[in-house]
Structure 1
């Protein structure tokens, strides 16, 4: 029994040792397999991209070979049609690319003209790069400018502040801080002397600040909530209103040709006033005035007849008084004397009127002369600066239009005044002639009686 137990225990121990030895071998084999598997996977990972690239190259080569095979089977006409289609597509794609590139470049240029004070440092380099590089080389910079423009638009919608210089209405350059919000910009000088909305001309190197609410703008720059008016025109509406309401601005823009126009206008006004006062002193004789003169002559009271004639505040009074001195010579002589003196009366009544007529005719001609001079100036400016910017031409255009305006302003009233005064003078002459003829006819009747 003891022997059997010993044998059994020996068998168990032997089997146990055998199992332990087998487990160790299995673990070693498993570890070796895992190591080999890792090495294989690493080798596959290393060779797979190369194999992928080689496969892609083979596919491209296969496509090219198939295309060459198709072209080889095609006729010459078919190959020519394919070449035309490819050339057409190439031209379309090139045109589209050039158009997009030009649009992006134009966007950068427009963006450069609309930069606000203090933004040149952030965006100026991109815009300058586009301007100095060729169209076929600046695609990256154009895309950069486009993205910068989008960022700038978002920044404007939210509002931001920059540092820079501005020019006051007194032409002083001051350093200060700008507040930007959408299309509106405000400025406050560092010394607190000036604050107000900003007028910025497109393409201008400096901006102009107008007078405004200093306290409100200072509070805005300090981050506080304030109420400020916004001029969406950038101050241009205010500038236009000042130009339209200023008569002195028109005189200044008219140039040297306004001086003679205003000079003849003043002389014409003086002549018109003198002539009007002269005609206002003439009073029509009372009813039966000539009959009283004839009645005194019929009774032999010649001196009384002359006094009655001289009492009239009318050119006919002096004319009839002189004519009565020749009544003894007969009615025909009196008539000749009346017509002789009537020439002098007519000349006296027509005095000053020719100068007014000359003014009415000359003023438009002087205005036209100023117009021609202004147009010559404008074309001279165009020769130098071109037609891209109309501001340099404004002086010539203003001179051309303002001189014509003042020429018509002077000519039209002068023409009306000349017409009215001439009609009044002609009426006095006709009335004088009528009274003279009435006296002559009365004398003839007296002589016949």
Structure 2
């Protein structure tokens, strides 16, 4: 009976005991979690503190190593000979010069503006730091206010967006948009950037840039050549600008060219106005001699003589006024020499121009190269902008000398051929007239 009552009592109290056990376990778990979280926080704080201490200790170790290296070097220098010190100083100087050259070359390749000889190493490093800051700002392009030079020369404030080498702008007041480029050769390195307009966009193309400024999204025109097209367009010179690069030797070359041109034009007009020669004059005159009527014969002869003009008319006059013989031949020969001199007059000047112009161009080339070597001595060979003036003079004078010489040579050849052809016909006519059998009867040509 007692056992049954005990069993009944245990069975009736077992659910209460189980719930207490579960609650106790949950409390233990929560307590353990809180302790674990607290331990993790303490470990994190301890880890951060240890990391800071380790970093500080590493920095101290690095400083101590530097101090040790300096102390070791000082200690070594006490035992080094003078020659070894000089060798070490030379090595350090070469290393410093190498670093300076690398920095100068980097500046020239990037900024196209060489350092002046007075620029100190501190200023070069400051320039490099500023350049790195600019590069860092270009990684995330954004609009910034700049001063731009408009095509009419006015200075306006505008918003500029730099996308690599391409720079877009918008002038908020007049809603003008387009492309700009950075103005080079600003002497003061502390001066703000100054941009000049290279291309203005039409109103329909401006909407994309305006939307890009206002909303951050928009379709814009882009230069696929990355500003090369703008640079090529800006470097296109007029003929006067191109010729002026040749320096002082351009003036004699141009003078010779104009001189040859005027002479060639005058001789061309002279040859154009030369009358045509009467072919087979002797045969025609012989046919007139067969006319029996004296009046008809005289009229026909006068008509034939009237057709002769210029130099041929002079030869006919000599033939009619002189009998066949040495006297007629001498007079005809003298007249032919006189006419040949008139035809050849001033043609030699064109030939001289064709010969002298390349020599003047070569002289300008030599002068330009001398100037180039002088500039290379002053500024070194690493800066092409400093020596471009002498090279331009050398090339432009050679070019212009050939430009003058080649047409002058062609004109001289053409005009000389015309003289040779006309004089050959005139000489043939004179030879035939020397054998013309006529009597001096008062007839003469109308030339």
TM-score of Structure 1 vs Structure 2, range by shorter chain: 0.5 to 0.7
1:392 maps to 2:380 = no
Structure 1 residues 356-365 or 372-381, which shifts more?
372-381
1:338 maps to 2:332 = yes
CA–CA distance in structure 2, aligned partners of residues 428 and 162 of structure 1: 77
How far is 1:345 from its partner? 0.8
Measured against aligned partners, the alpha-carbon deviations of 1:286-315 in whole angstroms (never above 9, x if no partner) come to 443222335557889799757734532352
Q: Which residue in the other structure is 1:313 paired with?
A: 309
| Aligned ranges 1:26-425 → 2 under 5 Å | 113=110, 131=125, 154-155=139-140, 159-169=141-151, 172-189=154-171, 191-192=173-174, 195-200=177-182, 206-213=194-201, 215-216=206-207, 217-244=209-236, 246-294=238-286, 308-309=304-305, 311-313=307-309, 315-327=311-323, 330-425=324-419
SS state at 2:232 partner: helix
> What's the TM-score once normalised by structure 1's chain length?
0.59
Measured against aligned partners, the alpha-carbon deviations of 1:34-89 in whole angstroms (never above 9, x if no partner) come to xxxxxxxxxxx9xxx9xxx9xxxxxxxxxxxxxxxxxxxxxxxxxxxxxxxxxxxx
How far is 1:415 from its partner? 0.6
Contact between 1:198 and 1:235, CA under 8 Å: does it hold in 2?
A: no
How far is 1:224 from its partner? 4.6
Bigger radius of gyration: 1
Equivalent residue pairs, number? 325
Contact between 1:113 and 1:203, CA under 8 Å: does it hold in 2?
A: no
**Two-structure CA RMSD over aligned residues (Å):** 4.4
Cα 1:387–1:112 change in 2 (3 A) is closer
SS state at 1:443 partner: coil
Contact between 2:277 and 2:426, CA under 8 Å: does it hold in 1?
A: no
CA–CA distance in structure 2, aligned partners of residues 151 and 273 of structure 1: 66
How far is 1:179 from its partner? 0.7
Contact between 1:165 and 1:176, CA under 8 Å: does it hold in 2?
A: yes
Structure 1 residues 429-438 or 287-296, which shifts more?
287-296
Measured against aligned partners, the alpha-carbon deviations of 1:317-369 in whole angstroms (never above 9, x if no partner) come to 21221232111xx3332122111111101001111211211221222223233
CA–CA distance in structure 1, aligned partners of residues 347 and 150 of structure 2: 53
Contact between 1:261 and 1:363, CA under 8 Å: does it hold in 2?
A: yes
Please, which runs of 5 or more residues in structure 2 have no aligned partner?
1-45, 55-94, 113-120, 439-447
Contact between 1:196 and 1:212, CA under 8 Å: does it hold in 2?
A: yes
CA–CA distance in structure 1, aligned partners of residues 149 and 330 of structure 2: 81
Cα 1:128–1:181 change in 2 (3 A) is farther
> What's the TM-score once normalised by structure 2's chain length?
0.59
**Which protein is richer in helix relative to its size?**
1
Contact between 1:374 and 1:400, CA under 8 Å: does it hold in 2?
A: yes
Contact between 2:138 and 2:162, CA under 8 Å: does it hold in 1?
A: no
CA–CA distance in structure 1, aligned partners of residues 375 and 225 of structure 2: 27
CA–CA distance in structure 1, aligned partners of residues 285 and 104 of structure 2: 96
SS state at 2:322 partner: helix
